[in-house]
Chains A and B, each alone.
Chain A
Amino acid sequence: MNAWANIRTVAKRELGAYLTSPLAYVFIVIFLLLCGFFTFMVGRFFERGEASLVGPFFDWHPWFYLFLVPAVGMRLWAEERRVGTMELLLTMPITAWQAIVGKFLASWLFLGLALALTFPVVLTVNYLGDPDNGVILAAYLGSWLMAGAYLAISCITSAMTRSQVVSFILSVVICLFLILAGFPPVVRMLEGWAGSWLVELVASFSIITHYDGLQRGVLDVRDVLFFVSLIAFSLFVTGVILRGHRAG
Chain B
Amino acid sequence: MIQVENLTKLFGTKRAVDGVSFSVERGEVLGFLGPNGAGKSTTMRMITGFIPPTSGRVRVGGFDVSEQPIAAKRLMGYLPENAPAYTDMTVYGFLNFAAELRGLRGEAKKKAVHRVVEMCFLESVLHQSVETLSKGYRHRTCFAQSIIHDPDVLVLDEPTDGLDPNQKHEVRGLIRRMGEKKAIIFSTHILEEVDAACTRAIIIDRGKIVANGTPDQLRARSEWAGAVTLRVQGLSVEAVKEQLGRLRTAAKVIAQGDGGRVLATVFPRNRGDGELTREVLEATRGWRVEHWHTEEGRLDDVFRSITMPDTQR
Interface residues of A (CB under 8 A from B): 2, 5-6, 9-10, 13, 16-17, 20-21, 83-85, 87-88, 90-95, 246-248
Contacts and interface: CB of A to CB of B under 8 A. Distances in A.
Interface in B136-175: 142, 145
Contacts of A90: 49-50
A17 B88 contact: yes
Contact of B80 (A6, A13, A88, A95): A88
Given A6-B101, A87-B84, A16 B89 contact: yes
A90 B45 CA distance: 11
A247 B9 CA distance: 9
A74 B158 CA distance: 31
A248 B101 contact: no
B70 A93 contact: yes
A146 B145 CA distance: 38
Contact of B101 (A84, A85, A92): A92
B35 interface: no
Nearest to B72: A93
A84 to B, nearest CB: 4
Nearest to B90: A20
A85 B145 CA distance: 12
A6 B70 CA distance: 12
B97 to A, nearest CB: 5
Nearest to B87: A83
Contacts of A10: 101
Contacts of A87: 45, 50, 80, 84
Interface string B68-103: 011001101010101011111100010001101111
Looking at A6, A16, A87, A94, the one whose CB has the most chain B CB atoms below 10 A away is: A87
Nearest to B82: A84
Contacts of B97: 9, 13
B151 to A, nearest CB: 10
A13 B86 CA distance: 10
Contacts of A95: 69-70
Interface string B209-248: 0000000000000000000000000000000000000000
B73 A93 contact: yes
A248 B51 contact: yes
A147 to B, nearest CB: 22
B48 interface: yes
B141 to A, nearest CB: 11
Question: Chain B: interface residue count, which band?
Answer: 20 to 34
Given A247-B52, A248-B9, A248-B11, A88 B85 contact: yes
A9 B101 contact: yes
Nearest to A2: B103
A156 to B, nearest CB: 21
Contacts of B69: 95
B49 A91 contact: yes
A246 B52 CA distance: 7
A2 B74 CA distance: 13
A62 to B, nearest CB: 30
A93 B87 contact: no
A92 B69 CA distance: 10
A6 B74 CA distance: 13
Contacts of A20: 88
Interface string B55-71: 00000000000000110
Nearest to A94: B101
Nearest to A87: B80
Contacts of A9: 97, 100-101
Contact of B103 (A88, A91, A93): A93
Nearest to A89: B101
A106 B89 CA distance: 16
B298 to A, nearest CB: 35
23 contacts: A5-B100, A9-B100, A10-B101, A13-B97, A16-B89, A21-B88, A83-B84, A83-B87, A85-B86, A87-B50, A88-B78, A88-B80, A88-B84, A91-B50, A91-B76, A92-B73, A92-B98, A92-B101, A92-B102, A93-B102, A94-B70, A94-B101, A248-B11
Interface string B182-225: 00000000000000000000000000000000000000000000
Interface string B25-49: 0000000000000000000010011
A83 to B, nearest CB: 6
Nearest to A92: B101
B108 to A, nearest CB: 14
Nearest to B10: A248
Given A94-B70, A246-B51, 7 more contacts: A9-B101, A83-B84, A88-B78, A88-B84, A91-B49, A93-B101, A94-B101
